[in-house]
């Protein structure tokens, strides 16, 4: 009778121990071993494509817009007229200033002839020269204003967005057009500052835009000049391969860096 009770108690003890191990998996030595490699095979960060040549063109004078030949998304060439203003008032001022230049030139020539005959003194000749110089300077000012009546493209590119429309009157400094050249794209990344020791210009990494899904081999072109003390990140700029089509500024993606051995 006592032996039967002892066997029952021993069996109960084994069941309690097994139950304790089942409810406490941390005590299992098999579960204590790591299930994944601690060092990843590659490092990934997010990045964006940005164009070196991009600009927001603004008005250098106040006036009424008479022509904007390029709409959103259209391509243009360097030197094409993107915005043309009504320049009648500035052109009239230029014509008047050029007439004043001719008058001052004739007066100076006449005074020089009189001075050769000793009919006028050097003061009159010097005064005529000063009037001619003043008229020429005023004419140059109006020439600059007339030139500003047309906004030309500084590079080959595409119109991103019109900020104004034809027939509108704008003040000086008003944004007119946003333009971009998608052939000058670069990859901009914010990488951890701890990567600084292993990232150098000339190294390569893989960048995959989300919009295309095609991986690209990008070369590290340059690194930022300072580390952001708040996020502890560093700007990295990479250059795309020469034969790259179908990419647009603003595309984002993932950059993959091979782990250093």
Is the pLDDT assigned to residue 163 strictly greater than 70? yes
In the chain, pLDDT over 90 holds for what percent of residues?
Answer: 65
Taking the C-alpha atoms of residue 72 and residue 158, their distance in angstroms, rounded to an integer, is 8
What residues does each domain of the chain span? 42-54+182-258, 58-180
Strand partners, 75: 158
Distance CA 258, CA 195 (A): 12
- Give the integer Cα–Cα distance in Å for 240 and 217: 7
- Give the mean model confidence (pLDDT) for residues 37-43: 50
What's the pLDDT at 139? 92
Q: What is the pLDDT at residue 167? A: 94
Confidence of residue 259 (pLDDT cuts 50, 70, 90): low
How confident is the model over 227-252, as pLDDT tens digits? 999 999 999 999 998 888 889 999 99
CB 149 within 8 A of CB 92: no
The structure tokens 């860096």 sit at 257
Which residue would you say has higher pLDDT here, 111 or 191?
Answer: 191
**CATH architecture of structural domain 58-180:** Beta Barrel (2.40)
Q: 111 by DSSP, 3-state: which?
A: helix
- pLDDT surpassing 90 at residue 27: no
42-54+182-258 falls under which CATH superfamily?
Efflux pump adaptor protein, beta barrel domain (2.40.30.170)
Q: Would you tell me how many other CB atoms lie within 10 Å of the CB of residue 180?
A: 22
What does the pLDDT look like over 77-118, one tens digit per residue? 999 999 999 999 999 999 999 999 999 999 889 888 888 888
User: Which candidate, 143, 216, 154, places its Cα nearest to that of 185?
Assistant: 216
Q: Which long-range contacts (CB under 8 A, 24 or more apart) does 4-10 make?
A: none
CA pair distance 80, 84, nearest whole angstrom: 11
Dist. CA 191–CA 253, nearest whole Å:
14
Q: Which residue has the higher pLDDT, 21 or 233?
A: 233
* Structure token digits, residue 93: 């001022």
Secondary structure E strands in the chain: 42-51, 54-58, 63-67, 75-76, 81-85, 150-152, 157-162, 169-170, 175-180, 185-192, 204-209, 216-228, 233-239, 252-258
Query: Mean pLDDT, the chain, as a whole number?
Result: 84
- Is the confidence at residue 213, as pLDDT, over 70? yes
pLDDT tens digit string along 125-147?
899 899 999 999 999 999 999 99
Mean of the pLDDT values across residues 1-12? 44
Pick 186 or 24 by higher pLDDT. Answer: 186
d(CA 35, CA 117) in angstroms, rounded, equals: 110
Question: Bigger pLDDT: 174 or 19?
Answer: 174
Q: How distant, in Å, are the alpha carbons of 53, 69, 80 from that of 152?
A: 15, 11, 5
Global confidence as pTM: 0.70
Radius of gyration of the chain from its Cα atoms, rounded to whole angstroms: 38
- Comparing CA positions, the residue from 210, 214, 201, 204 lying closest to residue 254 is 210
């Amino acid at each position: 009778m006592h032996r039967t009770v002892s066997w029952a108690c021993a069996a109960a003890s084994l069941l309690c121990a097994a139950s304790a191990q089942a409810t406490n998996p941390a005590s299992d030595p098999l579960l204590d071993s790591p299930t994944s490699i601690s060092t990843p095979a590659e490092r990934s960060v997010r990045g964006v494509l940005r164009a070196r040549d991009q600009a927001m063109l603004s008005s250098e004078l106040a006036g009424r817009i008479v022509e904007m030949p390029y709409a959103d998304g259209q391509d243009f060439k360097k030197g094409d007229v993107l915005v043309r203003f009504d320049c009648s008032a500035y052109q009239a001022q230029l014509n008047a200033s050029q007439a004043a230049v001719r008058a001052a030139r004739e007066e100076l020539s006449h005074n020089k002839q009189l001075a050769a005959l000793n009919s006028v003194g050097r003061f009159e000749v010097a005064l005529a020269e000063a009037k001619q110089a003043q008229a020429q300077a005023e004419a140059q000012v109006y020439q600059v204003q007339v030139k500003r009546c047309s906004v030309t493209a500084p590079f080959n590119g595409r119109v991103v967005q019109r900020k104004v429309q034809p027939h509108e009157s704008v003040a000086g400094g008003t944004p007119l057009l946003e333009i971009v050249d998608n052939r000058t794209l670069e990859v901009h990344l914010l990488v951890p500052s701890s990567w600084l020791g292993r990232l150098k210009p000339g190294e390569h990494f893989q960048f995959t835009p989300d919009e295309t899904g095609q991986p690209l081999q990008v070369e590290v072109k340059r690194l930022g000049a300072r580390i952001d003390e708040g996020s502890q990140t560093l700007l990295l700029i990479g250059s795309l391969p020469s034969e790259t089509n179908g990419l647009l500024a603003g595309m984002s993606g993932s950059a993959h860096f091979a782990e250093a051995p």
